[in-house]
Amino acid sequence: MKIKQSEFVISAVGPAQYPEDGLPEIALAGRSNVGKSSLINKMLLRRNLARTSAQPGKTQTLNYYKVNTEVGELYYVDFPGYGYARVSKSQRQSWGKMIELYLKDRPPLKLVLQLVDFRHPPSAEDQNMYQWLSHYGIPMCVVATKTDKVSRSQWPKHSKMIRQTLGMPGHVPLIHFSSETGMGREELWSLIAQSADM
């Protein structure tokens, strides 16, 4: 996919700040350090557009990036990373509320990319997120990150581990991605373009 332009738009703290132009939105969820910023940068071919915040887990905002591609415009919506140990219970709750509010009532949302680390079994929080998305019937795919760190011979074993731990039916796509090598970039873009009807 060719990217004509990409820019950070807003760190939204609530619905009043979400864009109103109706462009399709692709949301990204995953625990801190899973490789969310790296994936966004790779997809948009930018070196440093998305950055890991200095205090992961503390920024309770939805970060909007506007992307102009050869086939049309859309937003990437980066959720705050979860699973960061040093956040308080109330911060965790406000995270949950904000995400729930967004996911339950956001017509421009076309697809959620749930990122999981290819090396390890999905965490309890990954499983919760997955179940929640499935429960609400939100279109989603699972993106396994850091695949360059797993030797090819181990791929079937790790793919099976992820599908089984999350309880993914065969029709839910599992995309193998690496921000290091660019593997999975075109596959993910095809799915995004298809989901966003571009």
The distance of closest approach from Cβ of residue 179 to ligand GDP in the complex, given in angstroms and rounded to an integer, is: 4
Of the candidates 173, 167, 116, 164, the residue with the CA atom closest to the CA atom of residue 141: 173
DSSP assignment letter at 34: S
Q: Does 182 bind ligand GDP (CB under 6 A)?
A: no
**Based on CB atoms, which residue is closest to ligand GDP, 110 or 146?**
146
The distance of closest approach from Cβ of residue 143 to ligand GDP in the complex, given in angstroms and rounded to an integer, is: 10
User: Rg (Cα) of the chain, in Å, rounded?
Assistant: 16
Residue 165 and residue 127: Cα distance in Å, rounded? 7
Residue 92 and residue 97: Cα distance in Å, rounded? 9
**Based on CB atoms, which residue is closest to ligand GDP, 29 or 133?**
29
Q: Which of 144, 179, 185, 195 binds ligand GDP (CB under 6 A)?
A: 179
Q: Which of 38, 63, 69, 114 binds ligand GDP (CB under 6 A)?
A: 38
| Contacts (Cβ under 8 Å, ≥6 apart) of 86 | 57
Q: Does 146 bind ligand GDP (CB under 6 A)?
A: yes
Total residues in contact with ligand GDP, by rule CB under 6 A = 18
The distance of closest approach from Cβ of residue 169 to ligand GDP in the complex, given in angstroms and rounded to an integer, is: 26
Residue 88 and residue 91: Cα distance in Å, rounded? 5
Q: What are phi and psi of 40, to 5 degrees?
A: -60, -50
Binding site for ligand GDP (CB under 6 A): 30, 32-38, 52, 56, 81, 145-146, 148-149, 178-180
